[in-house]
Amino acid sequence: MERAPGLGRRYGVRMFEVLRNHPEFRRLWYAQLASNTGDWLSRIAVVSLIARLGDRESVLGIGALFGIELALRMLPSAVLGPIAGPLADRLPRRALMVVSDLLRAALVLGCLLVQERGDLPLLYVLLGSQMGVSMFFESARAGALPSTVEPDALHAANALSAATWSAMLTLGAMLGGFLVGPLGIEGLFVLDSATYIVSAYFLLTLHLPPVPIQSEPLRWSAILGLKDLRRGWTHVRNMGQGPAVMAKSFWSPIGGMIVMLSVTASVRFGDGGAGAGAEFDPADAGYAMGILFAARGIGTGLGPILAKRLIGSSDQELQWQISLGFVFGSLGYICFGFMDTLWLAAGAVVFAHMGGSTLWVSSTTLWQKHVQDAFRGRVFACEFFFLTLLFSAFGLASGYLYDHLQSVPSTVWTLSLTILVSGVLWTLLAAKFQRSGAAPAEPALKLETPGAFDPCADGPDAPPLDSALGLHEPLGDCSEVSAPKNG
């Protein structure tokens, strides 16, 4: 990989410097830019379609229908994660991403066949299939990204990726909300399919180092028995990164909040602001969903940028950002429960997801700094396995809870308190993990020592897993190349 002179000797890299100085990351970013735009056009199309076809008088209320939608976005990834992670550590990652993009383009076009309530099962099947394929793409992308930048640029690269996801969430959701009327739901699906083709085009020019040679062949018995995920988790524990990998699982009550964004847009703002008794309008509900999801995007874009500037990037500072993320998320959604106007509700969502995205980026950066290249795909799959199960469970539970209570505030406040309790528990777990460490683990991205692991090198062999025993504390911020600090 081509390296920019001097970047490895500086502390911290600005987000847009990483684009200018790392051409392979730039290509990966272009692909993300294209597919993320369509993703959020499609998300608005799907939830608007469910709002239009859903029957509020049926056994499955609108909350349950939205809960199933979220679960089907998450559960296929959990089921296929044990396969996707090991494959991303063994197969060419670029090819895996390109094939995934092409399959997703075809699946999205299949949503054009959904025209009436009886077609909802088909919509759910297509959605679940699309999300399952996405797991292969994301596992390959998570494994590839650290190989496209230098170690001190990793936090900036992750922050830019999160900001891009957030910007495209904002623009895509807002465009979806505005365009669902004039273009129709079908038009949004066609646009999403086209963006996957554009993403595949950019990935065809991406150059990555060969994947590391694995000490053991891929065996289906090991996959079905979750052996590779257990190896990934063992490596995480050896590196002292258990809390970082589990942070998103503790954040999983937010899955219920995402369901409640769709529910709130449908039942509170789906009448165009006409008030109680007004007729439901799918276009108004789609517009409100676009605004609320766009607000989520604004918050997720601002959070990591402000946190990196105001707090920093050392291991200890990243842990602080994770803990604060829980607090911001909980307080933001407590306020959301009080808001009866769309724009005030959107402001509360911005605040809440500033915390959530800070937590997300900080936890990802923390484990990527210490986990070796040979295990990145499996560690990502391990992390995603647990968070998808829990996100899905909270999404389904919140949908059914709303259908039972028929109250947006009561459902939202219950979830907000759950997030706050989860944050306290995570902070206590992280502190206990540090105290129980026997010795600091060497960061995987430390480059100053000759012969040390270099993610930019061609096909480095990982050390045998069973050579590292015991539970270790993280070393510290590997971006401070000259003098790493113990965590």
Cα distances from 409 to residues 25, 70, 72, 329, in angstroms, run: 43, 20, 25, 16
pTM exceeds cut of 0.75: no
* Rounded-to-integer distance, Cα 30 and Cα 13, Å: 19
Least-confidence region, from 117-121, 230-234, 324-328, 349-353: 230-234
Q: Which helix (H) or strand (E) holds 390?
A: helix 376-405
* Residue indicated by tokens 């297509």: 126
Cα distances from 99 to residues 41, 91, 94, 410, in angstroms, run: 21, 12, 9, 44
Mean pLDDT to the nearest integer, 107-111: 93
Mean pLDDT to the nearest integer, 303-329: 86
* Rounded-to-integer distance, Cα 142 and Cα 93, Å: 10
* Residue indicated by tokens 């995007």: 297
Residue 351: the pLDDT is: 94
Residue 394, pLDDT above cutoff 90: yes
DSSP 111: G
Confidence of residue 447 (pLDDT cuts 50, 70, 90): very low
Residue 270: the pLDDT is: 72
Confidence of residue 477 (pLDDT cuts 50, 70, 90): very low
Asked if 335 and 348 count as a contact pair (C-beta separation under 8 A), the reply is yes
12: left (phi over 0), alpha (psi -120 to 50) or beta: left
Token pair of 297 as six digits: 């995007």
DSSP 157: H
Token pair of 208 as six digits: 């990555």
Asked if 46 and 181 count as a contact pair (C-beta separation under 8 A), the reply is no
Q: Please name the amino acid found at residue 10.
A: R
Half-sphere exposure of 413 (CA within 13 A, CB side): 9
* Rounded-to-integer distance, Cα 20 and Cα 458, Å: 22
Token pair of 370 as six digits: 């210490």
Residue 362, pLDDT above cutoff 80: yes
In this predicted model, what pLDDT tens digit does every residue of 121-147 receive, in sequence order?
999 999 999 888 888 888 888 778 888
How many CB atoms are located within 10 Å of the residue 431 CB? 13
How many CB atoms are located within 10 Å of the residue 60 CB? 16
Q: Bigger pLDDT: 112 or 271?
A: 112
Residue 380, pLDDT above cutoff 80: no
* Rounded-to-integer distance, Cα 287 and Cα 221, Å: 48
Residue 225: the pLDDT is: 61
DSSP 473: E
CA torsion, ordered 5, 6, 12, 14, to nearest 10 deg: -40
Q: Bigger pLDDT: 157 or 336?
A: 336
Mean pLDDT to the nearest integer, 264-291: 72
Residue 395, pLDDT above cutoff 70: yes
* Rounded-to-integer distance, Cα 442 and Cα 87, Å: 26
Token pair of 197 as six digits: 């083709």
Domain at 15-207+223-454+462-474: CATH code: 1.20.1250.20
Residue 328: the pLDDT is: 94
How far the first Cα of the chain sits from its last, in Å, is 30
Domain layout of the chain by residue ranges? 15-207+223-454+462-474
Mean pLDDT to the nearest integer, 180-186: 81
Mean pLDDT to the nearest integer, 396-405: 91
Mean pLDDT to the nearest integer, 203-228: 71
In this predicted model, what pLDDT tens digit does every residue of 42-65 receive, in sequence order?
888 888 888 888 765 554 678 888
